[in-house]
Structure 1
Amino acid sequence: MEERLEEMFDEQEDDDLLLPAQEGDDSQQMYEHFRFVADKGQTLLRVDKFLVDRMMGATRNRIQLAADAGCILVNDKPVKSNYRVKPLDVVSLVLDRPRRELEIIPEDIPLHIVYEDDDLLVVNKPAGLVVHPGHGNYTGTLVNALAFYLKDDPAYDPSDPRLGLVHRIDKDTSGLLVVAKKPEAKTNLSLQFYNKTTQRKYLALVWGQVQEPEGRIEGNIGRDPKDRMQMRVFPEGDQGKPAVTHYTVMERLGYVTLTECRLETGRTHQIRVHMKYIGHTLFNDERYGGHDILKGTTFAKYKQFVQNCFAICPRQALHAKTLGFIHPTSGEQLFFDSELPTDMEQLVEKWRSYVNAKEL
């Protein structure tokens, strides 16, 4: 059963609540694979529910099996699945073998470096490139590309968690990311993201006419209990984590709207989930239903037009356009801006032509 448990819990996407795994007591031959610390405001919640909300691919039944096997600890003591997590409880998953290490293989994958110095570099990631190795994507990622690009830098170890990516964006989202080349740089930059002092703006094409010129979306984001591959908004209660998105309408284009979104927090799928929550799913976002025709007419000509748009931009229409932060060594304010990638630029132009023609 423990082999099954290791496979179940080998992947973890909610990295902002995950602490680095460390080995357990050698005398007991148990090793810590995951550890979570409950927030100060945590209300009493069963430990199986607490973990299901935080671990991708884990069902409540499997968490209960882990607890029955003595693999779920709270404050270093085994607990049953009905244990109620309290504020600041430390919840961990342990197994009888060390966590499997993932070898980072350097791969010669083209990178668009927009800035680089001794401490960091900024990358403009294309859509379709996975950021970090994980389940189903152990090679061909941005991390593999960075390992090759920095292979001659003796200070850069791609397997060292103190270096590398400071934040992430989804596979099919394009745009800017900052990478730390030194431990001190990653610590400093990570604190800037944690303290919400970085500047991040995205461009998103969404379904529907966004009526207000600007707005603020607030709502806890957590995994959807009905579909573990999706996130959802929990407007009330203790589920999920606080999330805030600000949006501004840039251009109304018939049945879609080009919006600029500014992140106050950085949750998994935040813009995609928040915009859907207010009724404006991202265009061609398959995971959240944006690959269906959500607005418009029933005419065959219009349906064909939208299908052509899907073909032009075969992914969610989301681009991380700007990134600003304080340089960790010099203290200088750095700000980077990137152009819309070709697929999104062509998509927006096609909708502009549609609005202007008024023939469909």
Structure 2
Amino acid sequence: MSGSDKQPAGAWKDLTADSSAEGSRLDQWLATVLAPDLSRSRVQALIRGGAVHLNGAPVLEPKRKVAAGEHYSIELPEPEAPEPQPEAIPLDILYEDDELIVINKPAGLVVHPGAGNWTGTLVNALIHHCGDTLSGIGGVRRPGIVHRLDKDTSGVLVVAKTDRAHRALSEAFADHGRSGNLERAYEALVWGTPACLTGVIDAPLGRASADRTRRAVVSDEREDARRAVTHYTVLERFGERKDTDAVAALVECRLETGRTHQIRVHMAHIGHPLIGDQTYGRAFRTKANRLPEPLREMVAAFPRQALHARLLAFRHPVSKETMRFEAPPPQDLSELVATFAAL
């Protein structure tokens, strides 16, 4: 879609008409493709509302005849979110008071309910754990999520329990630590070693054109481009040669901004994707085949991106005291790093 065509924000689905769609009404074809999620009447309403685009421009006529090979983008309506319910899910609590709670989130735990994950999330666990100690965010008794970690990223995460804590922490994260009140450090196990052992990746991020669930480095002239800055330091190199030709490296990443998938995209952008990252490091999967056992089997079986949020520091929203929390990498990542170190 052209950069000048403004789209409403939302979840988009891309479809290409095949030969069987030739000559069909647009609403009929879309209703067939999107069944059972959307009825024909709902599809017609979406078309008339400008939610269906052809070559970057909205198509407003449901009767329009489809031609084979045409590429359509459809903004799908957001499903109505059910009210999160309390669930007795174990939590690794690093700190808690009346205003906030700090969690060491395990890999595999989704932070907030959403499509495909309405239950079993950190929010469900916190509602159960905190109970009446939640004084309300926006008038509702619920935990205030001020930042997130990907489902398969482990590490330190802070959640507000009161409205005033939510406002103060949200401002700190929106400021990205420029005022000096926020510090975040991650450890990432990556393929190869960056040519410079310390560096700054300053590359704007936007939605990937081929898959809107992914992020990509984009031109800063694009409408959806968001500034993204990652500072990295190589902590350790692994392999027979302890130089830029090393097999892998343990890298510390510190965030100046906090974009979705920022570290994963930035490290892949400079040619060193995270080990285990099936979204941004697929091209490197064959590298595992050249590793000796048992490392080859460990890498092939590693179920997630090798990323851990090790450090989080912030100013307490009420006491103004600087709070600093660290959590060591979980066992699966520690074992993987140790096996690389034995090369």
Normalized against structure 1, the TM-score is what? 0.71
Task: Describe the shift of the 1:258–1:134 C-alpha distance in structure 2 as closer, same or farther (beyond 3 A).
Answer: same
Letter of the structure 2 residue corresponding to residue 55 of structure 1 = G
Q: Matched residues in 1 for 2:164 and 2:146: separation?
A: 12
Q: CA deviation at 1:163?
A: 4.3
Task: Give yes or no for contact 1:244–1:265 (8 Å, CA) kept in 2.
Answer: yes
C-alpha separation in 1, matches of 2:299 and 2:342 = 12
How big is each residue's C-alpha offset from its partner over 1:210-256, in whole Å with a ceiling of 9 and x where there is no partner?
22110000111111111223211014422421111110000001211
Amino acid across the alignment from 2:135: A
Query: Which of 241, 261, 266 is residue 226 of structure 2 equivalent to?
Result: 241
Aligned-residue Cα RMSD (Å) equals 3.1
Q: Which amino acid aligns with 1:244?
A: V
The structure 1 residue matched to 2:253, chosen from 261, 266, 271, is 261
Q: Which residue of 2 is the match for residue 69 of structure 1?
A: 48
* Structure 1: runs of 5+ lacking an equivalent: 1-42, 73-79, 83-92, 355-360
Residue 302 of structure 1 aligns with which residue? 292
| SS state at 2:131 partner | coil
Note if contact 2:295-2:340 (Cα within 8 Å) is conserved in structure 1: no
Give distance in 2, aligned partners of 1:246 and 1:105.
38
Query: Larger radius of gyration, structure 1 or 2?
Result: 2
Write the mapping of 1:38-77 to structure 2, written as runs, cut at 5 A.
Answer: 45-48=4-7, 51=8, 54-59=9-14, 68-70=47-49
The alpha-carbon distance between structure 1 residues 45 and 347, as it changes in their structure 2 partners (threshold 3 A), is same
Give the letter aligned to residue 145 of structure 1: A
Distance 1:154-1:202 versus aligned 2 partners, 3 A rule: closer
Instruction: Give the conservation status (yes or no) of the 8 Å contact 2:126–2:143.
Output: no
How has the CA–CA distance of structure 1 residues 57 and 190 changed in structure 2, closer, same or farther, with 3 Å as cutoff? same
CA distance in 2, matches of 1:214, 1:65: 54
CA contact (8 A) 2:153 2:307 kept: yes
Q: How many correspondences in the alignment?
A: 286
Quick one: distance in 2 between partners of 1:216 and 1:292?
A: 23
Q: Match of 2:214, as an amino acid?
A: Q
Q: By how many angstroms is 1:159 displaced?
A: 8.9
Distance 1:94 1:203 in 2: 36
Query: Which runs of 5 or more structure 2 residues have no equivalent in the other structure?
Result: 17-29, 31-42, 52-56, 60-74, 240-246
What residue is the counterpart of 2:112 in the other structure? 132
CA contact (8 A) 1:120 1:182 kept: yes
> Is contact 1:104–1:159 with CA below 8 Å preserved after alignment?
no
**Pick aligned residue for 1:250 from 232, 235, 245:** 235
Q: Secondary structure at the match of 1:151?
A: helix
What is the Cα deviation at residue 150 of structure 1? Answer: 1.0
Aligned to 2:307: 318
- After TM superposition, the score normalised by the length of structure 2 is 0.75
Name the residue aligned to 2:68: none
Q: Deviations over 1:32-51 (max 9, x none)?
A: xxxxxxxxxxx983123xx3
1:281-339: per-residue Cα shift (whole Å, max 9, x none)?
1001011135843547x65x63763232333x421100000001111101111111111
Q: CA deviation at 1:155?
A: 2.1
Which amino acid letter does the alignment assign opposite residue 247 of structure 1? Y
C-alpha distance in 1 between matches for 2:214 and 2:44: 24
Secondary structure at 1:123's aligned position in 2? strand
Alignment map for 1:128-167 (pairs within 5 Å)? 128-153=108-133, 155-156=135-136, 160=140, 163-167=143-147
Aligned to 1:200: 184
Instruction: Quote the Cα distance in structure 2 between the aligned partners of 1:292 and 1:94.
Output: 33
**Map of 2:164 onto structure 1:** 184
- 1:218 is aligned to 202
> Structure 1 stretches (4+) deviating beyond 6 angstroms?
64-67
